[in-house]
Structure 1
Amino acid sequence: MESDGSKKEMMRQQVSPNKLEENDDDRVHDSSVDYKGEVLPLRSSTGAWKAALFIIAIEFSERLSYFGLATNLILYLTRELHQELKTAARNVNYWLGVTALMPLLGGFLADSYLGRFSTVLYSTLIYLVGLILLALCQLVPSLKPCDETSCQQVRKVHEIIFFVSMYLVSTGTGGHKPSLESFGADQFDEGHQVERKQKMSYFNWWNCALCAGVLFGVTAISYIQDRVSWGGADIVLMCVMGFALVVFLAGRRVYRYRIPEGSPLTPMLQVAVAALAKRRLDHPSSAEELYEVTPASASTGNSRKRLLFHTNKLKFLDKAAIIEHKDNGEKVNPWRLATVTQVEETKLILAMIPIWLACLPFGVSVAQISTLFIKQASTMNRKLSPHFELPAATIYSLAAIGMIIAVTFYEKMLVPFLRRTTGSERGISILKRIGIGMSLATVAMAVAAAVERRRLDSLPSTLSVFWLVPQFVIVGFGDGFALVGLQEYFYDQVPDSMRSLGIAFYLSVLGAANFLSSLLITVVDRLTQPAWIAKDLNSSRLDLFYALLAGINTLNLFWYVYLAHRYSYKTVRGRVGAAYLDNGDDDVESHGH
């Protein structure tokens, strides 16, 4: 570790003299800059909750718009465009899948070139264009789905504009989701004890705002779609998103920004090339012999990069950090010699792949709540009074309510209790939290199978829609643990330069799961006679389909527990070029098993 004198000398090289006169704690000591582009922004006037609240506000608006469209989409396709149930379910899953996979592109652009703030801004504008087109294809007479008098055949121009609009919304979401959430998390300095704890809470309250948007989307917007018009709902969504954009821009002066550093994939490729080139070399006897950047040698690039401890997993990659020749003053070739931190960051990404795959069955279960669960609700008795019938999509609000309850319980009761009993800053490890959510999703599928069996047995009488309450609420509880845990896991465990891509990895779990759900529906449709998912829901066997999902999730849960038990979390040992080193004990503890 450097002496205090050398640290101060480094700070003199990096910041202006007037900033050195201030207390170290007054400044943010990570790679953030303020809106003027100056390093070491003032802690008191930037970041933390005063900035995060602006960002959370636009998330509320985006989720309101998204779920206002997504939850009723299957009903629009079957009722307005007259598609068969299996065709509509596949189309919804395709759209949900593309929407959840697009963030991989958006996250890459945000981390590499555009920056998170700019990516959110451009994506919101694209989102708005999609909402405007949706409104036009409902309000302009020649673009409406049918003539005023009859609807024997849906207009092709309406279908084209409708799907173009929906996929513009997907594109907007693709840049919006990974950048906005990671941009919000960037407002908290992990090297500051108070802000580090606030950051753990941030993901919980972020999801509460998300669920509030979902609640309004599946209640107020669904009611407008059902009782007023689809065009009226689209106008409301367009106005809300426009207002949210204004709110987001209003916080520009208090945000902390991260400057893009180029493609985050290049260092990992360099590690692979260097390890392959030196594959015949023997492993060194000690990790101390491997190459790592020190504050004294950090003259280029991000001089405040966090350093990672060496681990013994995937040892082949360690060869990339073997020093072949003594330092002769020549510039290091990054394709021949990588740092220990670069090697460990590559290991982190590779270690995530099995966890990502193990989460797919959970994602397939979640996919059912916006397709088959909603279609179930549409066939059940939804009358609350002789003159009021509950819109089918409104039942989705139960999942949002369940998630809000779970997140609030976790934040206000479970974590404080576990912190006191275990002494761990986090309370419960991230993967354990995800595992609890996956278990609840398995229970939800079993309950859904039992309820659907009860519905089929009650035919021809109509069962009350409130029989669906348990499965929606349990899914919501599961989301409060698993989805929030996945967000935190993929943000926290990726390299610092890939935080937007990390959120995209989380979203890609749901995207790939939606495609898998479509594939599973197709396979089940072809292999079952009579079909488990028929055009008429009353002649289908959704109970067997849900039971199949429960069985798949149960088997997968054993595999996930095995992976989680063997997983090694990221441990940070310091920061190159910083005026301090992170508290290693806190970091190790907070990311531990």
Structure 2
Amino acid sequence: MAITVAGEATTTAAEPPPSNDVVPGYVDFKGRPSIRSKSGFWKSAFFIAGFEMAERFCYYGISSNLVNYLTGELGQSTAAAAANLNAWYGTAALSPIVGALVADTLLGRFRTIVFSSLLYILGLGFLTLSSLLNSMGSTSCNNDGNDSNTLCYPSQIQTIFFFFSMYLVAFAQGGHKPSLQAFGADQFDVEDDGENAAKSSFFNWWFWFSCLGIVLALSVVNYIEENLSWVVGFGIPSVVMLVSLILFCTGSLVYRFSTESMRRKGRHPFVRKFRVFLKQRETSGLESLDTALLPPSEPDNVEGAKEAKAMLRLVPIWCTSLGYSVVYAQPSTLFTKQAVTMDRRIGPSFEIPAASLMLCISLSIMLFVSIYDRVFVPIARSITKKASGITVFQRIGVGLVLSLLSIAIAAVVEARRLRTAREHGLADQPDAVIPMSVWWLAPQYTLSGISDVFGMVGLQEFFYDQVPSELKSTGLALYLSILGVGSLASSLLVSVIQKATSGDGGAGWFSDNLNRAHLDYFYWLLAGISALSLVGYVYSAKYYVYSGRAAH
């Protein structure tokens, strides 16, 4: 009759008569019809967004400074560290596909959030233990003949344990992130005009809360890691994640649990779509899906064909957003390495951590989300008469343009940094501080953040709205997979380019001595890739047909 807290949900044997205060298609944590005035909407959405803020604090608390941990504590080269990090970032962004499938087809979103959070806490605990073991002793040391210059790094087993811990976190957040965001969006009833209009704002403020967690991580945890202890810096996220999970579970009283995922009991959504594809394999084109030859007795024939067709139409948008995602991978890796070489002093004695420059991205996002939601959208709405001010495609397109501009600015600034190093005779001194303020990097960080307000939030809303109703977590996972493939593509580009440019004794574009490297060339290459992606995106968006109520 009733469901458990995470059940997402079976229907009750006898439901009360419908009323204006009952939310159709939703139940509470005891399986009773959800009451609009007592559940969902902003009261539960902000509660869930708070958990997202805590998760982003934990994720960025360990990830934003990893490039320095790898090149310092683990003794890896810049190229190796960048490749390892991009591979890890890519895995972290691709793993939500698996997590979303589990949420949409097996466990339900609430259970997936809880189980993945427990795995997350375990990974963070292992990571803290790994850094503790590394700080207690190492077995691999290089001595240049001077005892004071002995360099010791963790043993191979310790390094393997460290990466095991990191990938455990990557896979755990894969189940956590799409399920939590979809669960948050589920708190808004799309059949109610007021709640449906508020859902677009939800994606804006969701991003705002995410960035607040990032700001706290970059300003607190990074400072602790660089100036106090890596063990403490990794341990704090472990505690925060545990406490936030407990608080999230206490909010179950006001959550709405969707019954949609169980509407076709026994008919797996992916099995239905796969059978549609099999039946139309002898024909060609998207239109053939409308007449896929499933047995006429199947009630899901027409609906399954339409849903499969809708999923296929997402592919061009997904592909043409990859240029944006490759640029998105750079601030936490190569931008950070640039900052290490520059003058980071504030006042006579304080030096900001290089990774804290990521604050420029988060702060610009937090500021511009507020401006976008409270100023830009009302003005645009008065002009376009659209509820969201501009269409989702227009929003994404602006994000792609700004992303291209940010990487072009990065190329110009890097060329100036290299020129400054040569002019002051520092080209062959990789550890020297170049007399160029780190705030030269602020424009590329800031513009990158503003591009995310348009591009990233737009992609979130697009992939949530345009997938079938029982696959909302999967839709958000598809959006995250764009970032994952972009990170992996960036890693591949770094490896291939470094191998190609470091032959015959050359330093290569990604030399450990950044003063002899050519990150500016790499940034111009990414700008070219972004431009091509933008052209493809405009063409794809022009011929895309919105589905459902998303055509705003």
TM-score by length of 2: 0.89
Tell me the residue number matched to 1:70: 63
Structure 1 CA distance for aligned equivalents of residues 278 and 112 of structure 2: 31
In 1, are the aligned partners of 2:295 and 2:301 still within 8 Å (CA)? no
In 1, are the aligned partners of 2:497 and 2:509 still within 8 Å (CA)? yes
Tell me the residue number matched to 1:525: 498
Tell me the residue number matched to 1:559: 536
Structure 2 CA distance for aligned equivalents of residues 409 and 60 of structure 1: 20
Structure 1 CA distance for aligned equivalents of residues 391 and 100 of structure 2: 25
Matched residue SS, 1:568? coil
Q: Tell me: CA distance 1:76–1:14, structure 2 relative to 1, closer, same or farther (3 Å).
A: closer
Tell me the residue number matched to 2:429: none
In 2, are the aligned partners of 1:119 and 1:179 still within 8 Å (CA)? yes
Tell me the residue number matched to 2:523: 546
Matched residue SS, 1:28? strand
Structure 1 CA distance for aligned equivalents of residues 162 and 12 of structure 2: 53
Cα distance, 1:483 vs structure 2: 0.6
Match of 1:25 among 7, 20, 44: 20
Matched residue SS, 2:400? helix
1:198-234 per-position Cα deviation (integer Å, ceiling 9, x unaligned):
1111100000000001111111110000111001112
Structure 1 CA distance for aligned equivalents of residues 274 and 120 of structure 2: 33
Match of 1:431 among 385, 393, 415: 393
1:539-563 per-position Cα deviation (integer Å, ceiling 9, x unaligned):
1011111011111111221111111
Tell me the residue number matched to 1:378: 340
Structure 2 CA distance for aligned equivalents of residues 252 and 318 of structure 1: 41
Tell me the residue number matched to 1:36: 30
1:231-261 per-position Cα deviation (integer Å, ceiling 9, x unaligned):
1112211111111111101101111113544
In 1, are the aligned partners of 2:279 and 2:294 still within 8 Å (CA)? no
Structure 1 CA distance for aligned equivalents of residues 40 and 101 of structure 2: 23
Tell me the residue number matched to 2:46: 53
Tell me the residue number matched to 2:469: 496
Cα distance, 1:435 vs structure 2: 0.8
Matched residue SS, 1:44? helix
Tell me the residue number matched to 2:368: 406
Moved over 6 A (4+): 146-149, 321-324
Structure 1 CA distance for aligned equivalents of residues 179 and 464 of structure 2: 11
Tell me the residue number matched to 1:163: 163
Cα distance, 1:274 vs structure 2: 3.6
Q: Tell me: CA distance 1:169–1:44, structure 2 relative to 1, closer, same or farther (3 Å).
A: same
Q: Tell me: CA distance 1:415–1:193, structure 2 relative to 1, closer, same or farther (3 Å).
A: same
Matched, 1:537 2:509: no
Cα distance, 1:140 vs structure 2: 4.6
Tell me the residue number matched to 2:79: 86
Q: Tell me: CA distance 1:416–1:453, structure 2 relative to 1, closer, same or farther (3 Å).
A: same
Matched residue SS, 1:152? strand
Aligned residue identity for 1:82: G
Q: Tell me: CA distance 1:227–1:146, structure 2 relative to 1, closer, same or farther (3 Å).
A: farther
Structure 1 CA distance for aligned equivalents of residues 484 and 59 of structure 2: 15
1:347-394 per-position Cα deviation (integer Å, ceiling 9, x unaligned):
111011111010111100010011000111111111112221100100
Runs of at least 5 residues in structure 2 that lack an aligned partner in the other structure: 1-10, 142-147, 427-433
Aligned residue identity for 2:275: Q
Structure 2 CA distance for aligned equivalents of residues 451 and 109 of structure 1: 44
Q: Tell me: CA distance 1:263–1:536, structure 2 relative to 1, closer, same or farther (3 Å).
A: farther
Cα distance, 1:56 vs structure 2: 0.7
Match of 2:129 among 136, 139, 144: 136
Tell me the residue number matched to 2:274: 269
Q: Tell me: CA distance 1:199–1:361, structure 2 relative to 1, closer, same or farther (3 Å).
A: same
User: How many pairs were matched up?
Assistant: 515
Tell me the residue number matched to 1:468: 441
Aligned residue identity for 1:228: L
1:455-480 per-position Cα deviation (integer Å, ceiling 9, x unaligned):
11111343111000000000000011
Cα distance, 1:141 vs structure 2: 7.2
Tell me the residue number matched to 1:126: 119
Match of 2:481 among 508, 512, 520: 508
Structure 2 CA distance for aligned equivalents of residues 62 and 543 of structure 1: 33
Structure 2 CA distance for aligned equivalents of residues 465 and 501 of structure 1: 40
1:333-412 aligned at under 5 Å gives the runs: 333=298, 338-339=301-302, 341-412=303-374
Using the TM superposition, name which of 358-367 and 249-258 deviates more: 249-258
Aligned residue identity for 2:30: K
Matched, 1:443 2:419: no
Tell me the residue number matched to 2:288: 316
In 2, are the aligned partners of 1:442 and 1:554 still within 8 Å (CA)? yes
Structure 2 CA distance for aligned equivalents of residues 144 and 512 of structure 1: 36
Q: Tell me: CA distance 1:119–1:323, structure 2 relative to 1, closer, same or farther (3 Å).
A: closer
Matched residue SS, 1:462? strand
Matched residue SS, 1:386? coil
In 1, are the aligned partners of 2:12 and 2:31 still within 8 Å (CA)? no
Aligned residue identity for 1:76: Y
In 2, are the aligned partners of 1:80 and 1:145 still within 8 Å (CA)? no
In 2, are the aligned partners of 1:145 and 1:159 still within 8 Å (CA)? no
Structure 2 CA distance for aligned equivalents of residues 427 and 142 of structure 1: 53
In 2, are the aligned partners of 1:444 and 1:471 still within 8 Å (CA)? yes
Cα distance, 1:431 vs structure 2: 1.3
Structure 2 CA distance for aligned equivalents of residues 347 and 428 of structure 1: 26
In 1, are the aligned partners of 2:109 and 2:183 still within 8 Å (CA)? yes
1:123-163 per-position Cα deviation (integer Å, ceiling 9, x unaligned):
11011011111222233578655799964342223212211
- Rg larger in structure: 1
Q: Tell me: CA distance 1:527–1:112, structure 2 relative to 1, closer, same or farther (3 Å).
A: same
Structure 1 CA distance for aligned equivalents of residues 92 and 163 of structure 2: 13
1:219-230 aligned at under 5 Å gives the runs: 219-230=219-230
Aligned residue identity for 1:33: V
Aligned residue identity for 2:119: I
Tell me the residue number matched to 1:295: none
Matched, 1:570 2:547: yes
Matched residue SS, 1:32? strand
Matched, 1:182 2:182: yes
Q: Tell me: CA distance 1:426–1:123, structure 2 relative to 1, closer, same or farther (3 Å).
A: same
1:271-286 aligned at under 5 Å gives the runs: 271-276=276-281
Tell me the residue number matched to 2:430: none
Matched residue SS, 1:41? strand
Structure 2 CA distance for aligned equivalents of residues 129 and 43 of structure 1: 37
Tell me the residue number matched to 2:249: 249
Tell me the residue number matched to 2:551: 591
Cα distance, 1:426 vs structure 2: 2.2
Structure 2 CA distance for aligned equivalents of residues 153 and 373 of structure 1: 25
In 2, are the aligned partners of 1:270 and 1:338 still within 8 Å (CA)? no
Matched residue SS, 2:475? helix
In 1, are the aligned partners of 2:362 and 2:449 still within 8 Å (CA)? yes
Tell me the residue number matched to 1:204: 204
Using the TM superposition, name which of 76-85 and 160-169 deviates more: 160-169
Q: Tell me: CA distance 1:51–1:263, structure 2 relative to 1, closer, same or farther (3 Å).
A: same
Using the TM superposition, name which of 362-371 and 342-351 deviates more: 342-351
Structure 2 CA distance for aligned equivalents of residues 147 and 247 of structure 1: 43
Matched residue SS, 1:271? helix
Runs of at least 5 residues in structure 1 that lack an aligned partner in the other structure: 1-12, 281-312, 325-331, 572-586
